[in-house]
């Protein structure tokens, strides 16, 4: 049997974009950059192509895919819109916001886990937007990594995880946001729900809608039941190394800790150094911390530590998204 060639990383030239668009239209998979994380893309209207996403990632069929579009006209072909969706799209698209809406018949059931709703986003990354326009098709694209593992924020992360399963990776540089998109459920626009926090905060969405968001997807998912959106499992985005969370890490405690365990602070600890001491951002800036989170978890996972101790982010806004990913990475979403 002939071995599958290793994935090749392509620069974002006009020639390469044309090649990759043809591959997508032919039903093949292409790993793509977005401003949130790298995605594994297929033609969203081709059920066979989308099935390849599930096979490559080892993704369960009850976990739906997000469909990426380049225009509002495409949205109208995929979903039943409403005034709330139009207001959010006008404010935040293109950007890191996914809307869950009633789907139209053009969307295959495999994309939506058999549910009558679809998750849709218009990404901001310029290369992804060019590829979407050139392809002329909406693209289904979950994170481009083995299912459940830490999401990829560079092309090399994708190759390390899926290099033997796929052939094409489009390199768009490091992801600018570093966390998956905010997901808002608008199936009932009178009762909008935040399913997954992201760079677009709960407060920003509420300001546009003029009402509070209900909560949803924060644990209690029934095993193997279809999910309304991706990223809602209690354990997700997880390194292989056990992850232990702390509301606040005492530098003195870390200094006395086992050198075989890593200590990950939110901001740089004062007068504490060591080969097992790390931080998300020297000054504790949430945006820079979010951008570094997944890359640093991957790096620590490869260092041979017995455990990773991580400090939760303080405050609200983007901290809610950072802490959501940390809790899911530790499998602690549904615990007190």
pLDDT digits (tens, 9 = 90+) for 155-195: 999 999 999 999 999 999 999 999 999 999 999 999 999 99
Query: What pLDDT does 4 receive?
Result: 65
Which string of DSSP letters, residue by residue, matches 138-201?
-EE--BSSSTTBPPP-SHHHHHHHHTTT-SEEE---S-SS-SPPEEEE-SSTTS-EEEE--SS-
Asked if 187 and 118 sit in the same domain, the reply is yes
pLDDT confidence tier of residue 221, bands split at 50, 70 and 90 = very low
> Over 50: is that where the pLDDT of 147 sits?
yes
What's the number of domains the chain is made of? 2
Averaged over 273-280, what is the pLDDT? Answer: 95
| Of residues 20, 57, 246, 18, the one with CA closest to residue 162 | 57
Is residue 336 in some structural domain?
no
pLDDT for res 87: 98
Q: Residue 19: inside a domain, yes or no?
A: yes
Q: Is residue 291 part of a domain?
A: yes
* Same domain membership, residue 159 and residue 17: yes
Residue 163 and residue 206 in one domain: yes
The CATH number of the domain holding residue 29 is 3.90.870.10
53: tokens are 């996403």
pLDDT of residue 219: 44
Is residue 335 situated within a structural domain?
no
Task: State whether 276 and 127 are in the same domain.
Answer: no
DSSP 234: S
Same domain, 175 and 265: no
If pLDDT is split at 50, 70 and 90, which confidence band does 126 have?
A: very high
User: Is residue 294 a contact partner of residue 178, using CB atoms and an 8 Å limit?
Assistant: yes
Task: Provide the angle, in degrees to the nearest 10, between the axes of the packed helices 318-330 and 286-301.
Answer: 20
Does residue 229 fall inside a structural domain? no
Among candidate residues 169, 195, 215, the one where a domain is terminated? 215
Residue 277 predicted with pLDDT over 90: yes
Q: Report if residue 225 sits inside a domain.
A: no
| pLDDT on residue 240 | 95
Contact present, 192 and 185 (Cβ < 8 Å): yes
Section 14-39 average pLDDT: 98
Considering the chain, what is the average pLDDT of its residues? 93
Has residue 222 been placed in a domain?
Answer: no
Question: Chain-centre distance of CA 7, in angstroms?
Answer: 21
Q: Same domain, yes or no, for 275 and 161?
A: no
**Mean pLDDT for the stretch of residues 277-286:** 97
- The pLDDT confidence band at residue 236, using thresholds 50, 70 and 90, is confident
Angle between helices 202-209 and 83-92 (to 10 degrees): 130
Q: Is the pLDDT of residue 205 over 90?
A: yes
Query: Domain range spanning residue 293?
Result: 243-330
Q: Tell me how far the alpha carbon of residue 68 is from its chain's centroid.
A: 13
In whole angstroms, what is the distance from residue 76 CA to residue 78 CA? 6
Task: Identify whether residues 170 and 304 lie together within a single domain.
Answer: no
Using 50, 70 and 90 to split pLDDT, how confident is the model at 326? Answer: very high
pLDDT of residue 335: 38
Residues 6+ apart with CB under 8 A from 52: 27, 28, 29, 42
Predicted TM-score (pTM) of the model is 0.94
Pair 262, 175 in one domain: no
Poorest-pLDDT segment among 13-22, 223-232, 284-293: 223-232
Residue 251 has pLDDT above 60, yes or no: yes
d(CA 214, CA 283): 32
Q: How far apart are CA 48 and CA 52, in angstroms?
A: 7
Confidence of residue 3 (pLDDT cuts 50, 70, 90): low
Domain shared by 184 and 300, yes or no: no
39 lies in the same domain as 167? yes
Query: Do 127 and 59 reside in the same domain of the chain?
Result: yes
């Amino acid at each position: 049997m002939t071995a599958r060639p290793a994935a090749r990383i392509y620069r974002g030239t006009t020639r390469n974009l044309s090649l990759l668009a043809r591959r997508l239209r032919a039903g093949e998979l292409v790993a793509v950059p977005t401003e949130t994380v790298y995605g594994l893309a297929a033609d969203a209207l081709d059920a066979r192509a989308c099935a390849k996403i599930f096979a490559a990632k080892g993704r369960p069929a009850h976990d739906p895919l997000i469909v990426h579009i380049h225009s509002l006209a495409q949205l109208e072909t995929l979903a039943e819109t409403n005034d709330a969706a139009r207001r959010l799209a006008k404010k935040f698209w293109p950007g890191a916001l996914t809307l869950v809406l009633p789907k139209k018949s053009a969307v295959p059931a495999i994309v939506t886990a058999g549910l009558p709703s679809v998750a849709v986003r218009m990404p901001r990354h310029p290369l992804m937007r060019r590829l979407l326009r050139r392809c002329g098709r909406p693209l289904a694209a979950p994170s481009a990594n083995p299912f459940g593992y830490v999401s990829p924020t560079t092309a090399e992360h994708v190759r390390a995880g899926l290099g033997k399963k796929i052939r094409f990776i489009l390199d768009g540089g490091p992801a600018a946001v570093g966390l998956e998109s905010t997901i808002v459920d608008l199936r009932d626009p009178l009762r909008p729900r935040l399913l997954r926090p992201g760079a677009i905060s709960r407060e920003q969405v509420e300001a546009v809608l003029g009402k509070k968001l209900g909560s949803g997807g924060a644990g209690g998912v029934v095993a193997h039941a279809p999910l309304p959106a991706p990223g809602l499992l209690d354990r997700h985005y997880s390194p292989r190394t056990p992850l232990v969370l702390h509301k606040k890490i005492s530098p003195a405690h870390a200094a006395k800790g086992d050198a075989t365990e890593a200590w990950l602070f939110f901001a740089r600890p004062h007068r504490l150094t060591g080969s097992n001491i790390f931080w998300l951002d020297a000054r504790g800036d949430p945006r820079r911390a979010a951008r570094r989170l997944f890359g640093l978890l991957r790096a620590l996972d490869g260092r041979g530590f017995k455990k990773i101790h991580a400090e939760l982010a303080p405050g609200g806004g983007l901290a809610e998204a950072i802490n959501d990913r940390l809790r899911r990475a530790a499998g602690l979403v549904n615990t007190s």
